[in-house]
Amino acid sequence: MDNRSADDRIADLHIHSRYSHDSFLSPRAILRRAEAAGLTCIAITDHGTIRGAVEAKRYVTAVSPEIIVGTEIRTDCGDIIGLGLSDDIRSTAWKDVIREIRSNGGTVILPHPCRDHTNIEEIAPQVDYIECWNARSTPAQNEGAAELARRHARPVVAGSDAHLGSEVGSVRARIGRDSFACRELLAARYATSSEIRRSQVGSCIRQGKWGTLIRGGFSAVARKIRR
Ligand SMILES: [Zn+2]
């Protein structure tokens, strides 16, 4: 059954700008890449801040993709994403983060639940969407996320988790006008190990972890630093 409509959006709902410690991408570059990839809707979801998305909104033109203001918060049980925000989220305990996103008028997403999270069976029923396609997860992790979403009857979303320009739009989903739910997965490329390594090395440089870089070498760093 074909359920597409003229109002459908082509979305990548998980992108990091240089306001994240592990990305060098400028908001302006993200917009250019998104436009080139044929996206009409992107969520910029920097770690701990909405500044990347807010800055990107300043560069929007008539032909730019729609910008969803988001952030990815490191909670006591793993990352939680808020979309459609107007303020930064200050909480860190997962229940408080969900409450604060909602009181901010936002939508709650559980990203890559089978990567670094604990307590996912308790969190899953509390969120609006579960990310079941993330380009930096493994196929098994994405399949686990899809099973979790099925078990808890949650709608699913897809995103690249891009930290480099080449990753923007590597995951694209058709979504409706009033929902972030994935109607059709249009592109689903996994990030290459060199893309992941480059942003992890970049993260070490940004955070001044020179000892880690020198001691471990780049490939060991790639295994040590969380994505
Ligand atoms: Zn992310």
Domain boundary assignment for the chain = 9-191, 192-227
Contact 36, 172 (CB under 8 A): no
Q: Distance between CA 138 and CA 143 in Å, rounded?
A: 9
Q: Which residues pair with 184 in a beta bridge?
A: 174
Ion ligand 1: residues, Cβ under 5 Å: 72, 161
Cα–ligand 1 centroid distance for 97 (angstroms) = 16
Q: Read out DSSP for the chain?
A: -----TT-EEEEEEE--TTSTT----HHHHHHHHHHTT-SEEEEEEET-SHHHHHHHHT--TTSPEEEEEEEEEEBTEEEEEES-SS-----SHHHHHHHHHHTT-EEEE-STTTS-S-HHHHGGGSSEEEEEETTS-HHHHHHHHHHHHHTT--EEEE--BSSGGGTTSEEEEE-SS----SEEEEEPPPPHHHHHHHHHHHHHHTT-HHHHHHHHHHHHHHHS--
Q: What are phi and psi of 152, to 5 degrees?
A: -105, 10
Cα–ligand 1 centroid distance for 71 (angstroms) = 9
Cα–ligand 1 centroid distance for 136 (angstroms) = 9
pLDDT value for 206? 73
pLDDT in tens, the chain (227 residues): 456 677 899 999 999 999 998 898 999 999 999 999 999 999 999 999 999 999 999 999 988 999 999 999 999 999 999 999 999 999 999 999 999 999 999 999 999 999 999 999 999 999 999 999 999 999 999 999 999 999 999 999 999 999 999 999 999 999 999 999 999 999 999 999 888 888 777 777 777 777 766 665 655 555 555 55
With a CB cutoff of 8 Å and minimum separation 6, the contacts of 104 are: 82, 85, 86, 87, 89
CATH topology classification for 9-191: TIM Barrel (3.20.20)
Cα–ligand 1 centroid distance for 14 (angstroms) = 6
pLDDT value for 32? 96
With a CB cutoff of 8 Å and minimum separation 6, the contacts of 124 are: 110, 113, 130, 148, 149, 151, 152, 154
Contact 27, 47 (CB under 8 A): no
